[in-house]
Structure 1
């Protein structure tokens, strides 16, 4: 995000925003108090079809946006910082692990190593993954589910 101003609207879409780089952003979402999102804060979820104004705290940011069609798909985004072996649990239809910084190995029959800004797509076959960081790492765990009525 290079400058402040209105966010693009997307009908019937839910979105979650997390700041990856930069000082942060203040979002004025219609009907809510202003929300500050920084690298240290939890990702912020809000409807993408509600008027939203953005003001940058101190210059451009790089953000992570996850958007899903309301009523068809749901999502949850969690920032996780690890420095030791950590288990991630998920019952989601699809789980994505974005390794923002650091380097991790996802244990299993065929271990997978991912580095900075790599994303691993995990299906519903396993409920738990063991993550082994080579050094402290910041991850984003993104869980995506179909809404049952759409199966």
Structure 2
């Protein structure tokens, strides 16, 4: 189990230079934007505009803060991504976004096609307390605080903190208020 603290995340320019991204985790650890197998990051989107292109990358996007964006991906119908939506799309197609009503903070999960895959879900503690791990997984606290109970003790996680676990940790118990929200990112 690896603890990922929001205070330790790295912030860097977007690939297209039009904003900044905060990297939560990347594999392999020393990878760059053109050779990662998978990457999880957050970005503050303050204006309408194009997304960076990533060859052979599949992306999933969700909104953490703000009212959402209207996403246009070449070859796909337009979609509104808001606080209830999780949307996947090819990262190598020209993509642009229009803010719905003010800036947003998004979570962006990317995996290299033919090398890795990912799945992203929101979990509300009111409905789930036990989480079974079958593959490499990042659990990020979206709202509230969370205690993770598993084979080894984990410290209290605050908002935007995360843990990285793999199949050697078969089961976790998520303790926190019923209003707490967690984002589960499974990577294989």
| TM-score normalised by length of structure 1 | 0.88
Tell me how far 1:37 sits from its aligned partner: 0.6
How large is the RMSD of aligned CA atoms in angstroms?
1.5
1:27 aligned counterpart, secondary structure = strand
Q: How does 1:73-112 map to 2 (within 5 A)?
A: 73-83=116-126, 86-92=129-135, 94-112=136-154
Structure 1 segments, 4+ long, off by >6 Å, are none
Q: How does 1:1-150 map to 2 (within 5 A)?
A: 1-41=45-85, 43-83=86-126, 86-92=129-135, 94-112=136-154, 113-145=156-188
**Which whole-Å CA distance do the structure 1 matches of 2:159 and 2:100 have between them?**
25
Unaligned runs of 5+ in 1: 146-151
**Which whole-Å CA distance do the structure 1 matches of 2:139 and 2:145 have between them?**
12
**Which whole-Å CA distance do the structure 2 matches of 1:35 and 1:85 have between them?**
28
Task: Judge conservation of contact 1:78–1:140 (CA < 8 Å) in 2.
Answer: yes
Aligned to 1:148: none
Task: Judge conservation of contact 2:150–2:169 (CA < 8 Å) in 1.
Answer: no
Deviations 1:5-35 (A, max 9, x none): 1111110011111100000011011122111
| TM-score normalised by length of structure 2 | 0.71
**Which whole-Å CA distance do the structure 2 matches of 1:40 and 1:2 have between them?**
20
Tell me how far 1:86 sits from its aligned partner: 1.0
Structure showing the higher strand proportion among its residues? 1
Tell me how far 1:83 sits from its aligned partner: 3.0
